[in-house]
Structure 1
Amino acid sequence: MAVKIGNCTGHYEMLEIIRRFSKGNGIIGESSYSGTGNGGMSEENVSPSGSNEVWTVACVDVTIVGEELWSVTGSTTGALPQYTTGGLYSETLVGFQIDAGGVDFILGDTFTVVGSSFTGTGDGVINNLNASPDAVTEVWTVVCTSAAVPGAEAWSVTGSVSGAQAAATTGVSYTNTFIDGFDIIAGSGNFAVSDQFTFDVTQAILAASSEGWTEERHIDDVLNGQSQPNIEMILKGPGLSGTEEIWAAFTSYQSISSDYYNISFGGTAGYVDSLILDDQPGHSGQRWMPCWNLGIRYWLAVNGQKITLITLIETHYFIAYVGKHLAFNSLGQFPYPITVMATDDTESTRYSAAGSNDLFNATSKARRISGLWESVYMAPLNDAYQIFGINSHGAHCPTLSMEDSRDVNGTYPLMPCTLIHPTDGALGDLDGVFYVTGFSAAAEDIITAEGTENIMISNNQATGLSDYIALRLE
């Protein structure tokens, strides 16, 4: 499984992050350093829209050694939120991690992060760098081979592993098997033969483990009545075996006048290119997660069979899940046990009006052997059919004191989130999502279970002992 934790702005950026991360697009970014401290930078990552900027990361506060503060500034975007040594920085346009070394950082120590580097005569740029899900870890070299026509120069494109690819031309969008695209844009000074761009690509975790999702559909050019695009995206997962077909559908719905900006999650049992989403085989109907058009903190966990998203909107936490659950039967008995859940079945719910996330109510949907989608509850978070006993704090637990207990080593026990059907009982467990007590804990606490870190998340704004889940961070 791969996990991405970061910040973005608005529901459109959130959908694009789901898209690129779930597909396993290659990661582009490189850095240089000047200063006194001998720590290092890793995990460099610039998005296609941030790849033509120079990102300056400068040490501005050394009060706490090992937790120095750094300013982050884009040559075009300007200042972004500050960064603290030791953590993973992940904004929409740029990401990285700085770790301390044996010699402390001092004020003014500076890292520079770029999508590409250039040597030569011209002053143009290479823009919108985007590595494909087929990208491997290598260095790409783009060299001007003919400058006979200014503004339409020819360029060779060579990967250190993938070898020579089709040539590129200034002013013409470029793509190949390993690169989803880039644009070489002329400046005021003409390019010359031997001018050269280089950029580093790192293979994504999902691509390396053959768990990346394939894009079946992506529509972003249909506008609503307020001239905003209605996004529609359908992805196909390979399962954990790499041979399965698991479909997940995502859409956007927004209104400037009503101030809601939402995204939806759904499942299908197949894909037909000529059909609209509602008519796709075995479509579940969409479940909606409230977002907005400002800053979003997110936790995205993906493997070959499921996509889980948790967001923080102001002080509200929301969770959505689409994909296979861990069914209590063999694949031969039921090969396609999938679940869809988010916050609401209403597309226009504003984030501030949503009272409960879907793990705590009765509107989650699971696909049954009949092919129908039916409502399920999530025990022990919500158990309308009294499969579990009710403890003194209102949680449904097989052991009434479970929500208060800790292991003897001080860690928290995790309980599976089990899908409960009204007539058929327990169907299976969610993959990587658990119930955990909120006893002496708070949202975003990290707890370790079986050697794996998990983050605690509350039900929207609730803080009761039985109002928490844990998301596995692998």
Structure 2
Amino acid sequence: MAWETGTATDHVDLFNKIRNFLTTNTDLVNAGENWEQMLGPTGTLVHGDQITLRGPGLTGTDNIYFGMETLESSSSDAYNIQFWGHASFSDTLAPRDQALKSPDQWVLLWNQPMTYWIIANGRRWMLVVKVSTVYSSAYCGFMLPYAAPSEYPYPMVVAGISYTGGGTRWSTEDGRSRFFASPGYNTMFTYWPDNVWRLVANYYDSSSSDNPRPGYRGAGFVHPTMHFNNYFAIGNNRNDIELESPDALEVTYNADKCFDGSYFLRDLTIISSAWEGPYDSVLGVLDGAYWIPGRANSSENIVNKDGVDHLVVQNLFRNGFRDYMALRLT
């Protein structure tokens, strides 16, 4: 595991810092987990450049691909980063032309200085950026699957924050724009074992209230942050995994600190739902990311749990009790 924090002068500088951290960070290099740039300029990146990077996994034997570029719209005051995953690679194709490419994901930024945190290992990277009082974030790479590599060889997740796309200003408050601990519509996609990218969404509609429509129009959702406002069964036939009351997963409303004063961390688990997906299954957990209660908590807190430091991050502009996650740093 490796991480760094600092200040980027603008979105293009952050683009460079992400690439440089993943490819040259000393801790990643020493562990054999640094990412390799496969396509694109190797010098200082400028707006208009596209790159493709490959992650080696934790043993150096994986091939985890993603592409990235910057987007700008002066008329919308939007200065953002766009990224995507793909399950195959050809050095004869441009980054955006790779086969088995995921839908695009976006991190909403601006063209002014901003504080950032990058956290990575050979399997995945996570990004947090403070833009004014809003916290943008992203997850890109493998999750930890509940399956053997032969059963689920490419468990990739790409998650940004913007429902409305790369031309969106950082200050948008659309109810579907959310962080990856509780994704909104079109803000998280997972590569399923049957080699198809599918939507994972906890929230579907555009309401900015605390109780928008549950995200069952995605093929999956993230537990425990999915909000159920009526009876919900994961299986269409209601014989697979059932929740016997509307409060069965509402741990995020009432959770507080543990009796010993430490914070309560929950794995962020991606669950496939046969309502819209191909089958019922617990797919896996996000690597190094957890839900954490918002009571007596705030963004940028460093929470030590079992001797491990975690960075606390809020859900964009939201700061309610349910709107925080913790990212493992060490």
Shorter-normalised TM-score: what interval?
A: 0.7 to 0.9
**Who is 2:267 aligned against?**
416
How many residues were matched structurally? Answer: 286
SS in 2 for 1:351: coil
Cα deviation for residue 354 of structure 1 reads 4.4
**Who is 2:171 aligned against?**
352
Matches within 5 A, 1:187-226: 204-219=26-41
**Partner Cα separation in structure 1 for residue 252 and residue 38 of structure 2:** 47
1:255 aligns with 2:73: yes
1:10 aligns with 2:10: yes
1:365 aligns with 2:189: yes
Cα 1:455/1:232, change in 2 over 3 Å: same
Matches within 5 A, 1:302-381: 302-345=120-163, 346-355=165-174, 356-359=177-180, 360=182, 361-363=184-186, 364-376=188-200, 377-381=221-225
Higher share in strand: 1
**Partner Cα separation in structure 1 for residue 144 and residue 249 of structure 2:** 21
Please list the CA deviations of residues 369-428 of structure 1 after superposition, one character each: whole Å capped at 9, or x if unmatched: 22110012222223566666665xxx944xx47742322221101001111222224211
Matches within 5 A, 1:439-454: 439-454=295-310
Cα 1:401/1:319, change in 2 over 3 Å: closer
CA contact (8 A) 1:231 1:252 kept: yes
**Partner Cα separation in structure 1 for residue 14 and residue 173 of structure 2:** 19
Once superposed, what is the RMSD of the aligned Cα atoms?
A: 2.3
Runs (5+) with no aligned partner, structure 1: 26-203
**Who is 1:457 aligned against?**
313
**Who is 2:226 aligned against?**
382
Instruction: Look up the equivalent residue of 1:310 and give its one-letter code.
Output: V
**Who is 1:404 aligned against?**
255
Name which of 262, 266, 270 aligns with 2:88.
270
SS in 1 for 2:264: coil
**Who is 1:89 aligned against?**
none
CA contact (8 A) 2:253 2:321 kept: no
Name which of 47, 63, 74 aligns with 1:245.
63
Cα deviation for residue 279 of structure 1 reads 2.8
Structure of larger gyration radius: 1
Instruction: Look up the equivalent residue of 2:222 and give its one-letter code.
Output: M
Matches within 5 A, 1:16-415: 16-25=16-25, 204-219=26-41, 229-345=47-163, 346-355=165-174, 356-359=177-180, 360=182, 361-363=184-186, 364-376=188-200, 377-383=221-227, 396-397=249-250, 400=251, 403-415=254-266
Using the size of structure 1 for normalisation, the TM-score is 0.57
Using the size of structure 2 for normalisation, the TM-score is 0.81
Instruction: Look up the equivalent residue of 1:375 and give its one-letter code.
Output: L
SS in 2 for 1:353: coil
Instruction: Look up the equivalent residue of 1:373 and give its one-letter code.
Output: W
**Partner Cα separation in structure 1 for residue 190 and residue 263 of structure 2:** 29
**Partner Cα separation in structure 2 for residue 462 and residue 451 of structure 1:** 28
Please list the CA deviations of residues 298-333 of structure 1 after superposition, one character each: whole Å capped at 9, or x if unmatched: 111010000100111000011100100011111121
